[in-house]
């Protein structure tokens, strides 16, 4: 049977679905105080920008699985909060990109630290052999689309901000 012909084992789907609920709870709890001002979707956008670097809004939308207009509105909110900024692309000055700011990266880093502690607490309840099995399975699962933290860029890019639009009076 070829890869395209494989069917997911329903017991595996059920197990991952149940585990995803736990991970969503961990994700929500990990936002801490930032959860009051930052939605999970906005946090996800910050993670994409922190892990993949500056993006055009249309590319960010594709990474998030939303329409460009939805991503644009989300970016507007994140710019107002000072968590991302818009700037001209270095390679093509006509293109506008968004990137995470130092404040946005701090939200991601603090949530990641809290998430790490919450996950460590859950894993500590398992014997070492099960912890290793969970880690191996989740590494394979995550390889389908996520970039491990250790491979993220060091910090927010610091390109110049796009100047505000001027109005002719």
Query: So what's the pLDDT on residue 37?
Result: 86
Q: What residue spans of the chain are helical by DSSP H?
A: 10-30, 40-52, 57-64, 68-80, 102-123, 128-142
Over residues 36-54, the pLDDT tens digits come to 888 889 999 999 999 999 9
Does the pLDDT value for residue 167 go beyond 50?
no
The confidence band for 148, taking pLDDT boundaries of 50, 70 and 90, is low
CATH code, residues 9-142? 1.10.10.10
Query: Kind of pairing, strands 84-88 and 55-56?
Result: unpaired
Query: Using CA atoms, how far apart are residues 39 and 15, in angstroms rounded to an integer?
Result: 26
Query: So what's the pLDDT on residue 88?
Result: 84
């Amino acid at each position: 049977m070829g890869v395209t012909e494989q069917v997911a084992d329903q017991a595996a789907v059920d197990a991952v679905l149940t585990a995803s609920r736990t991970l969503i709870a961990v994700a929500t709890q990990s936002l801490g105080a930032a959860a009051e001002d930052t939605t999970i979707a906005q946090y996800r956008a910050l993670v994409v920008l922190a892990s993949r670097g500056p993006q055009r809004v249309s590319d960010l939308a594709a990474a998030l699985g939303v329409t460009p207009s939805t991503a644009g509105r989300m970016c507007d909110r994140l710019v107002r909060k000072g968590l991302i900024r818009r700037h001209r692309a270095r390679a093509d000055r006509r293109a506008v990109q968004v990137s995470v700011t130092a404040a946005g990266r701090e939200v991601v880093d603090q949530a990641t630290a809290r998430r790490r502690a919450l996950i460590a607490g859950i894993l500590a309840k398992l014997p070492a052999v099960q912890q290793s099995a969970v880690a191996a399975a989740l590494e394979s699962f995550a390889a389908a689309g996520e970039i491990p933290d250790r491979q993220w860029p060091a910090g927010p890019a610091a390109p110049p901000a796009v100047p505000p639009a001027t109005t002719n009076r």
